[in-house]
Amino acid sequence: MDLTAVERPSDSPFIEQVWHNRSEQVGDFISMAFTHWQMVVTRIQDQTLITMRGPETKSTPAFAPAGAEFVGIMFKFGMFMPHLPVKNLVDTAINLPDASNKSFWLHSSPWETPTFDNAETFVERLVRAGMLVREPLVDSALRGDVGDLSQRSAQRRFLNATGLTQTTTRQIDRARKATALLKQGMSILDTVFAVGYFDQPHLTRSLKHYIGQTPAQIMDEGRIERLSLLYKTTLLE
Protein backbone atom coordinates (compact mmCIF):
# COMPACT_ATOMS: atom_id res chain seq x y z
CA MET A 1 0.00 0.00 0.00
CA ASP A 2 1.27 3.48 -0.85
CA LEU A 3 2.02 6.00 1.87
CA THR A 4 -0.98 8.01 3.01
CA ALA A 5 -1.40 11.22 4.98
CA VAL A 6 -3.99 13.46 6.54
CA GLU A 7 -4.03 16.51 4.28
CA ARG A 8 -5.85 19.77 4.74
CA PRO A 9 -6.13 22.80 2.45
CA SER A 10 -5.06 26.17 3.76
CA ASP A 11 -6.65 29.59 3.46
CA SER A 12 -3.18 31.12 3.48
CA PRO A 13 -2.09 32.59 0.10
CA PHE A 14 1.38 31.28 0.85
CA ILE A 15 0.61 27.62 1.64
CA GLU A 16 -0.50 24.93 -0.81
CA GLN A 17 -1.46 22.49 1.91
CA VAL A 18 -0.52 21.13 5.33
CA TRP A 19 -0.18 17.40 5.92
CA HIS A 20 0.40 14.94 8.73
CA ASN A 21 1.66 11.38 8.47
CA ARG A 22 2.80 8.64 10.80
CA SER A 23 5.04 5.80 9.66
CA GLU A 24 3.53 2.73 11.27
CA GLN A 25 6.07 0.31 9.85
CA VAL A 26 9.63 0.42 8.69
CA GLY A 27 10.25 -0.03 4.98
CA ASP A 28 11.47 1.20 1.64
CA PHE A 29 9.40 3.26 -0.78
CA ILE A 30 9.79 5.30 -3.96
CA SER A 31 9.91 9.07 -3.62
CA MET A 32 8.24 10.52 -6.72
CA ALA A 33 9.36 13.67 -8.51
CA PHE A 34 7.64 16.76 -7.16
CA THR A 35 7.63 20.47 -8.04
CA HIS A 36 6.96 22.10 -4.66
CA TRP A 37 9.35 22.64 -1.79
CA GLN A 38 8.29 22.20 1.79
CA MET A 39 9.24 22.29 5.44
CA VAL A 40 8.90 18.95 7.22
CA VAL A 41 8.93 18.41 10.98
CA THR A 42 9.94 14.85 11.85
CA ARG A 43 9.61 13.41 15.33
CA ILE A 44 11.26 10.09 16.14
CA GLN A 45 11.07 9.15 19.83
CA ASP A 46 12.63 12.16 21.62
CA GLN A 47 14.28 13.65 18.55
CA THR A 48 12.81 16.41 16.38
CA LEU A 49 14.20 17.30 12.95
CA ILE A 50 13.28 20.39 10.92
CA THR A 51 13.99 19.77 7.26
CA MET A 52 13.73 21.93 4.17
CA ARG A 53 12.95 19.55 1.30
CA GLY A 54 13.40 20.84 -2.21
CA PRO A 55 11.69 19.89 -5.47
CA GLU A 56 12.58 16.46 -6.83
CA THR A 57 13.29 16.07 -10.54
CA LYS A 58 13.30 12.27 -10.64
CA SER A 59 12.12 9.27 -8.66
CA THR A 60 14.50 8.06 -5.98
CA PRO A 61 14.56 5.20 -3.45
CA ALA A 62 13.67 6.29 0.09
CA PHE A 63 13.20 4.79 3.53
CA ALA A 64 10.51 5.23 6.20
CA PRO A 65 11.54 4.57 9.82
CA ALA A 66 8.98 2.92 12.09
CA GLY A 67 7.18 5.13 14.59
CA ALA A 68 8.15 8.43 12.96
CA GLU A 69 5.63 11.26 12.87
CA PHE A 70 5.75 13.93 10.18
CA VAL A 71 4.13 17.35 9.72
CA GLY A 72 4.66 19.06 6.38
CA ILE A 73 4.05 22.62 5.21
CA MET A 74 3.93 22.71 1.43
CA PHE A 75 4.50 26.20 0.08
CA LYS A 76 2.65 27.68 -2.87
CA PHE A 77 4.50 27.37 -6.15
CA GLY A 78 6.52 30.57 -6.58
CA MET A 79 7.11 31.19 -2.86
CA PHE A 80 10.78 31.21 -1.87
CA MET A 81 13.23 32.29 0.81
CA PRO A 82 15.77 34.83 -0.48
CA HIS A 83 18.41 33.60 1.97
CA LEU A 84 17.82 29.93 1.03
CA PRO A 85 17.34 29.72 -2.76
CA VAL A 86 15.11 26.87 -3.89
CA LYS A 87 17.60 25.99 -6.62
CA ASN A 88 20.01 24.98 -3.83
CA LEU A 89 17.41 22.54 -2.49
CA VAL A 90 16.58 20.71 -5.73
CA ASP A 91 16.94 16.94 -5.27
CA THR A 92 18.21 17.40 -1.73
CA ALA A 93 17.16 18.35 1.79
CA ILE A 94 18.70 20.48 4.54
CA ASN A 95 18.22 19.88 8.27
CA LEU A 96 18.07 23.09 10.31
CA PRO A 97 19.94 23.28 13.63
CA ASP A 98 18.07 23.03 16.93
CA ALA A 99 17.73 26.08 19.17
CA SER A 100 15.89 24.20 21.95
CA ASN A 101 13.61 21.19 22.25
CA LYS A 102 10.76 23.29 20.80
CA SER A 103 12.57 25.66 18.45
CA PHE A 104 15.17 25.77 15.67
CA TRP A 105 17.53 28.23 14.04
CA LEU A 106 16.57 29.82 10.73
CA HIS A 107 18.66 32.61 9.20
CA SER A 108 20.40 33.32 12.52
CA SER A 109 17.14 33.58 14.49
CA PRO A 110 15.31 31.08 16.73
CA TRP A 111 11.84 30.03 15.55
CA GLU A 112 9.23 27.98 17.36
CA THR A 113 8.65 24.60 15.72
CA PRO A 114 5.37 24.72 13.74
CA THR A 115 2.56 22.23 14.19
CA PHE A 116 -0.21 20.85 11.99
CA ASP A 117 -2.63 23.35 13.55
CA ASN A 118 -0.56 26.55 13.62
CA ALA A 119 1.21 26.33 10.25
CA GLU A 120 -0.55 29.44 8.92
CA THR A 121 0.55 31.56 11.89
CA PHE A 122 4.12 30.34 11.50
CA VAL A 123 4.22 31.14 7.78
CA GLU A 124 2.62 34.57 8.30
CA ARG A 125 5.49 35.39 10.65
CA LEU A 126 8.00 34.35 8.00
CA VAL A 127 6.33 36.62 5.44
CA ARG A 128 6.17 39.60 7.82
CA ALA A 129 9.87 39.14 8.57
CA GLY A 130 10.68 39.21 4.85
CA MET A 131 12.05 35.69 4.98
CA LEU A 132 9.43 34.24 2.64
CA VAL A 133 8.41 36.07 -0.53
CA ARG A 134 6.44 35.43 -3.71
CA GLU A 135 7.59 35.68 -7.33
CA PRO A 136 4.47 36.97 -9.15
CA LEU A 137 5.91 36.01 -12.53
CA VAL A 138 5.59 32.27 -11.88
CA ASP A 139 1.83 31.91 -12.35
CA SER A 140 1.75 34.15 -15.42
CA ALA A 141 4.75 32.35 -16.96
CA LEU A 142 2.95 29.02 -16.68
CA ARG A 143 0.07 30.63 -18.60
CA GLY A 144 2.52 31.79 -21.26
CA ASP A 145 2.25 35.48 -20.34
CA VAL A 146 5.49 37.20 -19.28
CA GLY A 147 4.52 40.71 -20.35
CA ASP A 148 7.38 42.85 -21.61
CA LEU A 149 10.08 40.63 -20.15
CA SER A 150 12.48 38.86 -22.47
CA GLN A 151 12.22 35.07 -22.47
CA ARG A 152 15.67 34.83 -20.91
CA SER A 153 14.76 37.17 -18.03
CA ALA A 154 11.49 35.31 -17.45
CA GLN A 155 13.25 31.96 -17.37
CA ARG A 156 15.87 33.27 -14.93
CA ARG A 157 13.25 34.62 -12.51
CA PHE A 158 11.18 31.42 -12.77
CA LEU A 159 14.23 29.28 -12.04
CA ASN A 160 15.28 31.46 -9.11
CA ALA A 161 11.85 31.21 -7.47
CA THR A 162 11.09 27.54 -8.11
CA GLY A 163 14.45 25.85 -8.68
CA LEU A 164 13.04 24.34 -11.88
CA THR A 165 12.64 25.27 -15.52
CA GLN A 166 9.13 25.66 -16.91
CA THR A 167 9.65 22.57 -19.06
CA THR A 168 10.67 20.39 -16.13
CA THR A 169 7.77 21.75 -14.06
CA ARG A 170 5.23 20.76 -16.71
CA GLN A 171 6.78 17.33 -17.26
CA ILE A 172 6.71 16.48 -13.54
CA ASP A 173 3.14 17.68 -13.11
CA ARG A 174 2.00 15.77 -16.18
CA ALA A 175 3.54 12.56 -14.83
CA ARG A 176 1.93 13.02 -11.42
CA LYS A 177 -1.44 13.79 -13.00
CA ALA A 178 -1.13 10.64 -15.13
CA THR A 179 -0.33 8.65 -11.99
CA ALA A 180 -3.43 9.98 -10.23
CA LEU A 181 -5.62 9.09 -13.21
CA LEU A 182 -4.21 5.57 -13.43
CA LYS A 183 -4.83 5.05 -9.72
CA GLN A 184 -8.42 6.20 -10.23
CA GLY A 185 -8.89 3.42 -12.79
CA MET A 186 -8.42 5.22 -16.09
CA SER A 187 -6.98 2.98 -18.79
CA ILE A 188 -3.43 3.47 -19.99
CA LEU A 189 -4.46 4.60 -23.48
CA ASP A 190 -7.07 7.03 -22.13
CA THR A 191 -4.43 8.43 -19.79
CA VAL A 192 -2.05 8.96 -22.71
CA PHE A 193 -4.58 11.22 -24.43
CA ALA A 194 -5.94 12.84 -21.27
CA VAL A 195 -2.62 14.35 -20.26
CA GLY A 196 -1.06 14.87 -23.69
CA TYR A 197 1.57 12.17 -24.18
CA PHE A 198 2.49 11.20 -27.74
CA ASP A 199 1.88 7.50 -27.23
CA GLN A 200 2.08 4.73 -24.64
CA PRO A 201 5.92 4.37 -24.81
CA HIS A 202 6.19 8.12 -24.16
CA LEU A 203 3.97 7.75 -21.07
CA THR A 204 5.94 4.74 -19.86
CA ARG A 205 9.32 6.51 -20.20
CA SER A 206 8.03 9.55 -18.35
CA LEU A 207 6.50 7.60 -15.48
CA LYS A 208 9.55 5.39 -15.03
CA HIS A 209 11.73 8.51 -14.73
CA TYR A 210 9.50 10.77 -12.62
CA ILE A 211 7.40 8.23 -10.69
CA GLY A 212 9.65 5.17 -10.60
CA GLN A 213 7.10 2.69 -11.96
CA THR A 214 5.51 1.75 -15.26
CA PRO A 215 1.80 2.44 -15.85
CA ALA A 216 1.00 -1.24 -15.28
CA GLN A 217 2.89 -1.24 -11.97
CA ILE A 218 1.06 1.89 -10.83
CA MET A 219 -2.29 0.24 -11.58
CA ASP A 220 -1.35 -3.02 -9.79
CA GLU A 221 -3.02 -2.83 -6.37
CA GLY A 222 -1.20 -5.97 -5.25
CA ARG A 223 2.35 -4.65 -5.71
CA ILE A 224 4.67 -4.60 -2.71
CA GLU A 225 6.73 -1.51 -3.52
CA ARG A 226 5.19 1.66 -2.11
CA LEU A 227 5.02 5.16 -3.59
CA SER A 228 5.40 8.40 -1.68
CA LEU A 229 2.46 10.68 -0.94
CA LEU A 230 0.58 11.74 -4.08
CA TYR A 231 -0.23 15.24 -2.89
CA LYS A 232 -3.17 17.09 -4.40
CA THR A 233 -1.97 20.47 -5.67
CA THR A 234 -3.62 23.19 -7.71
CA LEU A 235 -0.79 23.83 -10.15
CA LEU A 236 -2.34 21.94 -13.05
CA GLU A 237 -5.87 23.16 -12.53
The total number of structural domains in the chain stands at 1
Other beta carbons within 10 angstroms of residue 3's beta carbon come to 18
Quick one: pLDDT at residue 233? 57
Q: What average pLDDT values come out for the chain (237 residues) when binned by 10 residues?
A: 77 95 80 96 92 97 86 96 95 95 94 97 98 94 86 93 96 96 96 97 98 96 80 52
CA–CA dist 90, 108 (Å, integer): 23
String of b and e for 96-113 (b: at least 16 CB within 10 Å)?
bebbeeeebebeeeebeb
Residue 51 has what pLDDT? 97
How many angstroms separate the Cα of 108 from the Cα of each of 48, 104, 111, 128, 141? 19, 10, 10, 16, 33
CATH, residue 225: 1.10.10.60
Give the whole-angstrom CA distance, residue 118 versus residue 180.
29
pLDDT of residue 111: 97
Residue 151 has what pLDDT? 87
What is the predicted pLDDT for the residue at 212?
Answer: 96
Give the range of the structural domain holding residue 120, as residue numbers without chain letter: 1-237
